[in-house]
Amino acid sequence: MQVLKNDRLLRALFRQPVDKTPIWIMRQAGRYLPEYRATRARAGSFMDLCRTPELACEVTLQPLERFPLDAAILFSDILTIPDAMGLGLYFTEGEGPRFERVVQSARDIDALARPDPEIELRYVMDAVRVIRQSLDGRVPLIGFSGSPWTLATYMVEGRGSREFAKIKAMLYDSPELLHRLLSVLASTVSNYLNAQIRAGAQAVMIFDTWGGILTSSAYREFSLGYMQRIIDSLMREHEDRKVPVIMFTKGGGQWLETMAEIGCDALGLDWTVDIDDARRRVGDRVALQGNMDPAVLYAGPDRIRTEAARIVAAHGGDGHVFNLGHGIHPQIDPEHVAVLVDAVHNAPRQ
């Protein structure tokens, strides 16, 4: 087994003692870094960057060269799965991801490919392997996937949405059809994450970006239930080491108690939740990850330090991984990220 020089993240996710609060940042390899923009330009397109393991490794490691972060996260995209299922993912400048084909009927669901992670998504697994080798035990590597519900929103809408009219119409008018799609996706995501673990991911995260748009009953039925299926089917040990699972529902603060019961090791929090209240509500059942408003990084260094210290103190101890409440904004000054990482590592934890 490869020796892990910094296991602070894994220890925190298992609510074990750590010397300081670990930190990583959602979208830490991304457009706020000039070196990322240079690599992206060399790649030619975002998907070419994702599909070239050596370049995906390069951008995964870029933030670690700048900042003493406690984890690397695989550079990829949650929509690689629906793309591999045959929907034809493409990106339009300024408008985000789109699909050439959408899912509207039982026939469309039956026509979906069931991708083999080591064939149709081999480029992701190869990226995991290359990154692990390049990290050489420096920090753990996090793998990830979108949740079935979040993937389904893009597959039914064909793009990002504000109203989610098509998928909500399916939910209310044809719930059995939506369950059929979500069941296929749950199986596919499980296979995908297990393949990432076998390839070398040392923790995995499920991004439920759009779970928060649902009613409470719909969230439990159409989002949480399928994430539980995935968690129940994941490898929880590999390379003689336990593999923690982080679950993040953006806008899901009202369901923390329920989320803490489904078997994940940690819950991600967005910035709309007070972390001390979240800690009180879930007790010691799970670790917590989060949850600074990404917009704080537009402020000056003193305010960044104050806010970081407030969140670390509010959590109050072990079982906390510091992160933003969602992805870092592309306009953020990298120097402000350096201030944040230093502030978290030096913040009093009690």
Q: What is the residue extent of each domain of the chain?
A: 26-272
Q: Is 80 within any annotated ligand binding site?
A: no
CA distance 9 to 17: 11
Q: Is 350 within any annotated ligand binding site?
A: no
Q: Residue 138 catalytic?
A: no
The answer to whether residues 77 and 33 touch, using CB atoms and an 8 Å cutoff, is: no
pTM of model > 0.85: yes
Tokens of 180: 């059929």
- H/E stretch holding 348 reads none
User: Rg (Cα) of the chain, in Å, rounded?
Assistant: 19
Q: Residue 108 catalytic?
A: no
Query: Tens digit of pLDDT for each residue in 86-136?
Result: 999 988 776 688 999 999 999 999 999 999 999 999 999 999 999 999 999
The answer to whether residues 250 and 219 touch, using CB atoms and an 8 Å cutoff, is: no
Q: Is 31 within any annotated ligand binding site?
A: yes
The answer to whether residues 313 and 307 touch, using CB atoms and an 8 Å cutoff, is: no
Segment 33-40 shows an average pLDDT of 97
CA distance 118 to 108: 24
The answer to whether residues 167 and 157 touch, using CB atoms and an 8 Å cutoff, is: yes
Q: Is 37 within any annotated ligand binding site?
A: no
26-272: CATH architecture = Alpha-Beta Barrel (3.20)
Q: Which of 37, 77, 298, 303 is catalytic?
A: 77
Q: Which of 15, 27, 98, 229 is catalytic?
A: 27
pLDDT at 191: 98
CA distance 159 to 147: 16
Query: Tens digit of pLDDT for each residue in 112-126?
Result: 999 999 999 999 999
Query: Tens digit of pLDDT for each residue in 293-336?
Result: 999 999 999 999 999 999 999 998 899 999 999 999 999 999 99
Q: Is 154 within any annotated ligand binding site?
A: yes
Tokens of 72: 């690397």
Q: Residue 154 catalytic?
A: yes
Q: Which of 11, 15, 40, 98 is catalytic?
A: 40
Q: Which of 15, 36, 98, 154 is catalytic?
A: 154
Query: Tens digit of pLDDT for each residue in 239-265?
Result: 999 999 999 999 999 999 999 999 999
pLDDT at 255: 98
Q: Which of 119, 147, 136, 140 is nearest to 201 (CA)?
A: 140
